[in-house]
Chains A and B, each alone.
Chain A
C-alpha cells in the first residue's frame, strides 16, 4: 500500500492506493502545516482503507508543509504532484490550474502528463484561497457558501485592488455605500479569476484545462475563470486530494524502482 500526503497552508490531505492504482482511503482535514491536521488525515485515510501504518510500503509528502513533516519516505513539490494527479485522473489534461490557500499555480503538461513549465503567483496573496477567505469573512458567510451567494448577483462589481488588505477596505466601503453582498461575492470571484488567467496566459492555456485544489469546489470561481480564459474548465472529482493522489502515485513508482 502507498501513501500520499499533501500538507497545505490551510488543509491536510491523505490518500492511500494499492498497486492496482485503486484509491483505498482518502481524507481531508481543514487544518494545515504546523497543526495536527496531517496526522489526523493520515489516521483517517488508514482507517478508511482498513489497514495499519505498517502496511504502507512507501510514502511521499508534498505541499507547503512537506519540509517539516518527517514521517514520509520522500518529499516532492506540489507542482509535480498536482500535475501527476491531474494527468492520472484526466489523461487529456494539458493545463492544470490549482488555487491553494496561499498560492495559485498554472502548470503546463506535455503529452505524457509531465511538467513542461509552470507559473505561480508572485509577490502576494492576490488570486489565492486566502483572498477568498478574507472576502467571505467580510461578507459574513462561510467559505463554502461564497459560491451560492454569488449565484444571486444582479450587477457587476469590480474589486480593483489586487492587494488583499486594500481589497478588504475597498469592499467594506462598497458594502457601506449599499452594494449587495451577492454582487460583492461575484466580484471577489472575478478578481481571483483575473489574476489566475493572467498567470495562465503567460505560459499559454492549452486544452484540456483542468482545475484542482479546494477552490475548484467553488463554482463561482470556476465560472468566472472560464469566462476570463474563454475555455471550458474540467473540475476533477475530489479536487482537493489531487496533490495527495499524485504523491501516492509517486510513492508507488519510487517503491517499484527500489525493489
Chain B
C-alpha cells in the first residue's frame, strides 16, 4: 500500500470499488448475494461470490439523502412505516433498481443471519419470494443465558454445514476447505485489527474524529474476509497511533472537552447536523457498541468457535450482557456521557434501551440522554429536540467536571 495515501482515501476508494466490482460481476454473469451485516461471510468469500450488504447500501442512500423515494415506494406497496427503514429502503430499491446515490446489482440468492434481529428474516424472505431466488438462513437463537449455550452452538454449526451444501448446489462448485481456512484466518485477523484500531480511541485526547467510526464501519461490514480490509485497519491503527504519539486530539481548532459513546445506529440523513451539534458543544464521539459487534474472532480450525462468535453479537445476547458491555465501555474509554439513539426503526435496539440506561447510570453514574430519531427515515427526527437534549447532556457533563477536584 502506498504510504502517502491516507486510510480515509483508501477507505473511500475501497467502498466505491466494492460497489463497482459487484455491478461489473453481475454484468459478466457472476453470482451475486445479498447478505445481512453480520453474516458468516467466510462461506461466501470461500466460494468467491460477490456480496453486497443492503443495510450498508441503505445507509449510503440515507446519508446521500436519497432514501425518501425508496421509503415511499415500499410504503406505497403496502409496507408499514413502522417497519425498519433499512428494510423499507431496500425493498423500495429492489423494486425501483435505480438510485442517483449509488447502485447495487440484483441478487441471485439471499444469505441471511438473524444474529442482528428477526426483522431480517421476513424482509429477506419477501425478497427471495418476489424475486424467486433461493434464500439461505443461518438461524442464531437469542441467548437468554449469559453465554451461548452448547445446544445453540451445535445447531448453528450444523447449519454452516447445511449452508455449504446449499452453496455448492447454487454455484455448482465444490467448497474448498483449504481456502475456507485461509478466509477464516483473514476474517479473524481483520476483526482483531478493527478492534485494535477502534480501541485506540481510548487515548486522551482521543485521536478519533467524531463520526470516523461510522465511516470505517463500512469496511468491516463489507470486506471483513478480504486482505484489503485487513490492510486498511492496520493502516488506520498506524495513523491513529501516530496521532496519539503526537498528542493530537480530534480537532485542530478546539480541544476535546467531553467524551461520549453513541448507542445505536447513526441518523444517516442528518449525519452532518448531528455531528456539528456535538462538535459545537466540544463533545467527541469516540465509541459505540459497534467495535465489539464485528469483533468476530475464533480459531480458524474450530467451527464451534465460529458458531459461538456469530451468536455472540451483543444484539443477540441478554440484558445482563448488554448493560455490562456498556459499563465496561464507559470505564475503558473514560467516558463522560452516553447518547442513546432511540431509533424508530430498530425495535430490537430500543426494546431494552431504557433499562440498559438505568443500569448503566446506576453502576457508573455517567450522564446520559436519549433522543428520538431514525437511521434512514429523515421524517422521524427533530433537529431542535436533538440539540436541546445534547446541550442538556453537555451541561450535565460540565457540572460533573466542575465538581471533580481540579475541574478535570
- Contact residues of A with B, CB < 8 Å? 64, 67, 76-80, 103, 114-120, 122-123, 202-203
Contact = CB atoms under 8 A, between A and B. Distances in A.
Q: Is the interface of B mostly helix, strand, loop or mixed?
A: helix
26 contacts: A64-B384, A64-B388, A67-B384, A76-B391, A76-B395, A77-B391, A77-B392, A77-B395, A79-B392, A80-B392, A80-B396, A114-B403, A115-B399, A117-B361, A117-B367, A117-B368, A118-B369, A119-B370, A120-B385, A120-B389, A122-B342, A122-B372, A123-B344, A123-B372, A202-B358, A203-B358
A114 B368 CA distance: 14
Contact of B388 (A79, A116, A119, A122): A79
Given A64-B384, A67-B387, A77-B388, A115 B395 contact: yes
Nearest to B368: A117
Interface residues of B, number: 21
A60 B372 CA distance: 27
Contacts of A80: 392, 395-396
A78 B395 contact: no
Nearest to A107: B392
A118 B392 contact: yes
Contacts of B403: 114
Contacts of B385: 103, 120
Contacts of A122: 342, 370, 372
B354 interface: yes
Nearest to B367: A117
Contacts of A123: 344, 372
Interface of B: 342, 344, 354, 358, 361, 367-370, 372, 384-385, 387-389, 391-392, 395-396, 399, 403
B380 to A, nearest CB: 8
Contacts of B388: 64, 77-79, 120
A203 B396 CA distance: 16
Contact of A115 (B354, B358, B372, B396): B396
A64 B382 CA distance: 12
B132 to A, nearest CB: 39
Contacts of B387: 67
Nearest to B388: A77
A212 to B, nearest CB: 16
Nearest to B391: A77
A76 B395 CA distance: 8
A116 B400 CA distance: 9
Given A67-B384, A119-B370, 10 more contacts: A64-B388, A77-B388, A77-B392, A77-B395, A79-B395, A114-B399, A117-B367, A120-B389, A123-B372, A202-B354
A251 to B, nearest CB: 15
Contacts of A103: 385
A119 B385 CA distance: 12
A100 B169 CA distance: 63
A228 B388 CA distance: 28
A115 B392 contact: yes
Contacts of B361: 117
Contacts of B395: 76-77, 79-80, 115
A120 B385 CA distance: 10
Contacts of B384: 64, 67
